[in-house]
Structure 1
Amino acid sequence: MAPPLLILTPHSSGQLPAQVMHQMLGEAVYDTLAREALQRRIFLDGDPYTDLLFLVPGARTLNAPWSRFVVDLNRERDDASDNGVVKRTGFDLNALYPAGTEPDAEDRLRRYWDSFNAQVRAELEGVSLLMVGHSMGMYGPALGPDHGQPRPALTLMLGEGERATFPPGLTEPLRLAAEQAFAAVLRGAEVSRVAVNDPWTTDDLSVRYGHARLPAFGLEINAGLYLTDEGAPRDDRIHALNACLRVFAAAALELVGSG
């Protein structure tokens, strides 16, 4: 695909280093069932299967190697809040670590945040468009701007004002391109609305690397479109959504090339 498109999926992984699992589980880390249960919960609380949903042959792609609960690559390095770059709670507001246990934030940042962002910077040369791929739950979680509210099928996060990351004049053409590209999947789906900046206006990676010569945006895909209520993948829907995404990526590249 040319001109180059760079796709980042900052929350696609559910992997935890053994050291982090030990901090979360204590000696239960040696219990296979406890370990597997933690890994599944962590994976589903990330953006599951976004590495497949945003697979575009020919594009430059960086998928997160570790879970967002190791370090959140879509947070600023100095975000020390509970849901910041090194999280202390999950989205259900429950603690991730036993009482009295605190992760070594600076060590995490050095090992995982710094190395990923160095990779991003190395891929930026010659890129014409940056797309950041996410998924979101059907309803807003306890820790979220839309607690309990139903979410759109797709959300384009383009920023606004000084934090705009995509040309404002191309907002509606991009939304229409998404509607058209995903029409086959959204037709008859439980959720079908394509939203702009709802429930989030932007993502930090788009703000961090987008600029006047590099349009950037985040795309959220509602997980209800491809997961069962129990969190099991629906392979046919993942495949269909990815086919739509490839069409949309080509349309988005054409838009920024003509804009």
Structure 2
Amino acid sequence: MSDASGPLSKLLIVTPHSSGALPPDVIRTMLGEDAFDTEKREALLRRVFLEGDPYTDLIFNLTGAQQLSAPWSRFATDLNRERDDESDNGVLKLFDFDRQPLYPDSFHFTSQAREARLQAVWDPFERDLTAALKGKSLLIVGHSMAPYGPVLGPDRGKPRPGITLMMGAPGAPSFPAERVKAVESAAERAFADVLAGEAFTRVAVGDPWDSDTISVRHARQSGVAAFGIEVNAGLYMKEGQARPGQLAKLNAAFGVFAGLVLESLG
């Protein structure tokens, strides 16, 4: 629960890709009869968790702020896509980020199946997010990213920054342009100790992405200042496991960062 009168009470934090869960009907659609094979089912769930944004619900959790986390994996429905995005990496994905199929050969979504999935997952989350933004002055959407650009990324094979801030694309900003530099400086200060000595030390704006779909959509709809933040998974994951102590360090740094951003907004 959030403290309605605390310094973070005007902040809404959204983690749209933190879940590794899949609805039973989605598991069956992906695996067919193998859904009843415990080993294969658990392997699928582990795969989608690790290819999501693992542990971001913990990294970006702050006492006093309001938090909204996705109930289902991005591979059930990607909440950080527009509802009408029908590309194979859109709101209903057909492949993971290494271009490995999620569904059996020749699978495709019928218009009825697509609409049913969106009504079950995308629409309720969007309603909850819209309602949660009332009375807020800042929306931060928290993600993690692969250490190096994957097959499906815009930066395939390239090392990524330690922290990326997504403030909106040219012509479609989600955060006041005159305050972006202050947010970048706040990130450099807040995350300095976490980044020190790591392979990924850079704080970047707009690299490899300049915008976060949720931030842009809701900044436009509500007028609330919003941006996305990506944490390089190499800062806290190794060989599919969380590195000891790193989640707590990132969470503490994010708390400092969020406080500095709120201060800059007045």
TM score, norm. by length of structure 2: 0.94
The superposition leaves residues 11-64 of structure 1 with CA deviations (integer Å, 9 ceiling, x where unpaired) of: 000100111111111111111100110000000110000000000111111000
The superposition leaves residues 116-147 of structure 1 with CA deviations (integer Å, 9 ceiling, x where unpaired) of: 00000111111000000000000001001001
Equivalence for 1:159: 168
Percent of matched pairs sharing the same residue = 54
- Structure 1 distance, partners of 2:166, 2:265, is 16
- Structure 1 distance, partners of 2:170, 2:25, is 41
Equivalence for 1:43: 49
Match of residue 216, structure 1, among 205, 210, 226: 226
The runs of at least 4 consecutive aligned structure 1 residues that moved more than 3 Å come to: none
Task: Please tell me the residue identity of whatever aligns with 1:21.
Answer: I
Equivalence for 2:3: none
Quick check: 1:95 aligned with 2:101?
A: yes
Deviation of 1:199 (Å): 0.3
Deviation of 1:101 (Å): 2.5
Deviation of 1:162 (Å): 1.8
The superposition leaves residues 52-104 of structure 1 with CA deviations (integer Å, 9 ceiling, x where unpaired) of: 00001111110000000000000000000000000111111121110133342
Quick check: 1:8 aligned with 2:18?
A: no
Aligned length: 256
The superposition leaves residues 165-194 of structure 1 with CA deviations (integer Å, 9 ceiling, x where unpaired) of: 111111111111001001111111111100
Match of residue 74, structure 1, among 65, 74, 80: 80
Equivalence for 2:143: 134
Equivalence for 2:36: 30
Equivalent residues in 2 for 1:111-122, closer than 5 Å = 111-122=120-131
Match of residue 242, structure 1, among 227, 247, 251: 251
TM score, norm. by length of structure 1: 0.96
- Structure 1 distance, partners of 2:107, 2:167, is 38
What RMSD over aligned residues (CA atoms) do the two structures have, in Å?
A: 1.1
Unaligned runs of 5+ in 2: 1-5
Equivalence for 1:192: 201
Deviation of 1:214 (Å): 1.2
Unaligned runs of 5+ in 1: none
- Structure 1 distance, partners of 2:170, 2:148, is 27
- Structure 1 distance, partners of 2:43, 2:101, is 16
Secondary structure of the residue that 2:141 maps to in structure 1?
strand
- Structure 1 distance, partners of 2:152, 2:106, is 22
